[in-house]
Homo-oligomer: A and B are copies of this chain.
């Protein structure tokens, strides 16, 4: 049975798409202008950096970032070619690999964060009162699956 949304819901939906396109497009542009890799690299590196042993199984990265496995395979290939991560055989499960962030990968994260974070602050932090940012995060949180691993976003802490 199909039930259709009202105009207000449609407007909110469209603005989620529009805001994402605009904001993340700006972040990509800023990174490219600085000669740095795209956001997808940052996301993977950050997940690895935050993981307890600085490593994760490939499928765990995919779960956290909502990426399909075939896509991830080649993304990791590129990161590996650039020397930012390394693949190691997995002891517990002979099928899979463990992906670990390298020293260079951490260095890259540190170079990217000032550029990326500046865009976040300019486009979001500086544009809304703190109360409204809190409400935004809370509302969007309700739209996300609670069964997915918790993820607080790009939070380098350095």
Contacts and interface: CB of A to CB of B under 8 A. Distances in A.
Contact of A130 (B8, B17, B113, B139): B8
B17 A125 contact: no
A127 B4 CA distance: 14
Interface string A51-63: 0000000000000
A145 B19 CA distance: 10
Contacts of A114: 2, 4
A128 B139 contact: yes
Interface in A95-137: 113-115, 117-118, 120-121, 123-128, 130, 132-137
Given A11-B153, A18-B140, A123-B143, 6 more contacts: A8-B137, A15-B136, A15-B141, A15-B153, A23-B143, A124-B143
